[in-house]
Structure formats: structure tokens, C-alpha cells
Amino acid sequence: MFEIIPSILTNSPQEALSDLEKLNDVILPHGFPLDRVQIDIVDGQFAENKTIEPDALANIETKLKLDFHLMTSEPIDWVERCVRAGGERNIGQIELMANQFSFVGKVQEVGLAVGLALNIDTEIERLDDSLLSSLDVVLLMSYPAGMGGQEFDIRVLDKVKRLVGMRGENIKPFKICVDGGVTPDNIKSVKMAGADEVVIGKRLISGDIEENFEKFYKALY
């Protein structure tokens, strides 16, 4: 089933915990899933802003699985911290990653699901295709990573379609996730291009979360 994943991008531990608490209580209609949330980690080097660090969530109790999207210099250096924070899936941006193989291996070594992420201007060819069968997800940014609230860039749709073709050649198919600028007006085109997941931040979490989810899922059909 196509999945909508809420994301939290903040430099306030209190806001992050409050948003997680609100999401923990959400019940979606019609059997739509809400079993994970993405925590965006920006270190001030990958992008100008800086968010909370994984340690801020180390003692949180939640029924939701935690994805950590590492928009950092050398994401491998953050893996152990994500484990201690209760992460279930680690997704690292490749742009400041010295070695994709080492990152994927480290995440698998500590027992987490693993993904690689590409910024909107990063070509698909930058992915190490020898790793595709080892990945749980490939995340494609649909605007420059690190800052929320930007406009959706339609170039991501062609990248999704290319990944669909690459995925067809693998024994273990990875999921394709699109992150950034997704609205009720464009979510169906993302799904039709072949994505399995989208990540949405304030458009989901601000206001009535259940009503916001309903708008997005209605737009799919």
C-alpha cells in the first residue's frame, strides 16, 4: 500500500516530542497505515540550518517506527546515535558520504533498515548500483534537502521512473520514497510515477492531523 510518512524537522526537542505525541494518538480511517515517522537530522554542514540530534529522542516511548534521515557530513558517524535513539530505518544523504558501501554496511551491522538519499540536483548515476539489492529504500528529495516548506520540483518524477526501471532488475526490490513539497495537488503524480512512499512535514502535522491525512489520501484516488 502507498504510504504517507509524516516528518519532523525542528531544532526544538520540545517541539519534536510534542509532534511525536500527537502523531502517536492519530487513528487513520479506511485502513490507511501510520506506523512510522521520519526525523530529519541536519548538522549545520550539509545545509545552513541545524536540527535536533537523535539523542533528543533517546527516551521517548512511541508505537511509531522512527526513520532518521541524515542530512549530514559523513552519515556513518551518526549511525550509533540513531540506534540509541530507537531508530528503525536509517537513510543517509550521499552527497557528503565518503563511501556508500561503508554506510550501508554499518547500518546493517547494527540491525537497522537502510536507505540512501539523493538531493534534487544529484544524478541517479551517483548511486552505487551494486548496493541496490541491499537497500530497503531510496529517498529522492524533490527540493534541496535541509530546509522545509520549499516548492516541489517536477524533475523528481523522471528520477522516480528511472529508479522503477532499475528496481525491476533486482531480486530484492527497494522502496522509492519522495520527500519535499508534496501537496494534495501533486501526490497522485508522484504515486503514478512509481513511488511507494512520500514524506510530508508541516502540511500534515499543523492543524488537524487526521483531516490532513484524509485530504492527501483522497487526492490519490
CB 117 within 8 A of CB 141: yes
77 part of the active site: no
DSSP string, 77-124: GGHHHHHHTTEEEEEEESTT-S-HHHHHHHHHHTT-EEEEEE-TTS-G
Q: In Å, what is the CA distance from 195 to each residue of 60, 91, 208, 216? A: 30, 16, 26, 15
From the candidates 40, 43, 67, 196, give the one annotated as an active-site residue.
40
From the candidates 19, 43, 67, 179, give the one annotated as an active-site residue.
179
Burial class of residue 11 in the structure, from the number of CB atoms within 10 Å of its CB (0-12 exposed, 13-18 middle, 19+ buried): middle
Distance, in Å, from the CA atom of 217 to the CA atom of 5, rounded to the nearest integer, reads 12
- Comparing CA positions, the residue from 102, 35, 101, 46 lying closest to residue 69 is 46
Distance, first Cα to last Cα, the chain:
13
Q: In Å, what is the CA distance from 117 to each residue of 25, 104, 108, 193? A: 29, 12, 16, 18
25 part of the active site: no
Active-site residues, by number, are: 40, 179
